[in-house]
Structure 1
């Protein structure tokens, strides 16, 4: 993962919390009641937002991992429940890259490795553009020489 991903995840999380807080502020201003409950919920939301924005990006950076070898692609993700997935190179069907507008602003990209697994594709998020391109090139070259049938 790129260390820039920490800031990307923090900004994306903050944007989501700002929407929630704006809705709560609007609800408070439009309500004709006393508003004490609104202020309590707004304070709780603020505390949760600060905790989420300050802890989540660092935790995610420390936990999420990926690796490729000549034989397989490995990913590790999760918060409390960790998931470690392995996809043999011979089972890879497609390798895709995606960059949303905010990721482009931060110079990041995501790579999705699709296999025939019922568990779904493997995702590698928060890579810098050059690393993502190298990963795609490497997997494309490796899967092209693999003898498997990708099913």
Structure 2
């Protein structure tokens, strides 16, 4: 009887751009903006007693500050990515963490995406589409130059790999 060997994988080495913290903070702040608008409208039209306004506003401010200030730092500590000659490996999430490994032989497309805030900060997201039912692997918040080099490298590796990509 053979003894099974345990294989441990190292965490991916590379972090997103340090500007990722700003990106995630801005996105978090934009999520809270509608709630503050609703509270302002409620205050103007006296929908609730003053003590309710003050209580709800206080709770909202505390939660928004935590979300905007703490979550981006936490996400930055967790998010990692790496490319080898055989796979694309990512770790992401802040509350629920996900590890994804996409074999190079399964890559179908490599795309770059830049939203308005990404462009403002000089960032991009590289999306690696594979034949996996789990969906694409995303490498978020890379500096534009790093994203371009990553896309070129993945294209080069995938072009030399004789996989089925299905």
TM-score by length of 2: 0.87
CA distance in structure 2 between the aligned counterparts of 1:91 and 1:109, rounded to whole angstroms: 23
CA distance in structure 1 between the aligned counterparts of 2:43 and 2:142, rounded to whole angstroms: 40
Q: CA offsets per residue over residues 88-140 of structure 1, 9 Å max, x none?
A: 00000000000011110100000000011111110010100000000000001
Secondary structure at the counterpart of residue 72 of structure 2? helix
CA distance in structure 1 between the aligned counterparts of 2:150 and 2:27, rounded to whole angstroms: 25
Give the superposition deviation at 1:145: 1.0
1:131 to 143, 146, 158: 146
- Alignment coverage as a number of residue pairs: 151
Give the superposition deviation at 1:81: 2.8
Structure-to-structure mapping, 1:1-151, within 5 angstroms: 1-151=16-166
Preserved CA contact (<8 Å) 1:25 1:42: no
CA distance in structure 2 between the aligned counterparts of 1:124 and 1:19, rounded to whole angstroms: 28
Preserved CA contact (<8 Å) 2:42 2:48: no
Unaligned runs of 5+ in 2: 1-15
* Cα distance change of structure 1 residues 58 and 32 upon mapping to structure 2, 3 Å threshold: closer
Preserved CA contact (<8 Å) 2:107 2:130: yes
* Cα distance change of structure 1 residues 95 and 40 upon mapping to structure 2, 3 Å threshold: same
CA RMSD across the alignment: 1.2
* Cα distance change of structure 1 residues 46 and 33 upon mapping to structure 2, 3 Å threshold: closer
Secondary structure at the counterpart of residue 70 of structure 2? helix
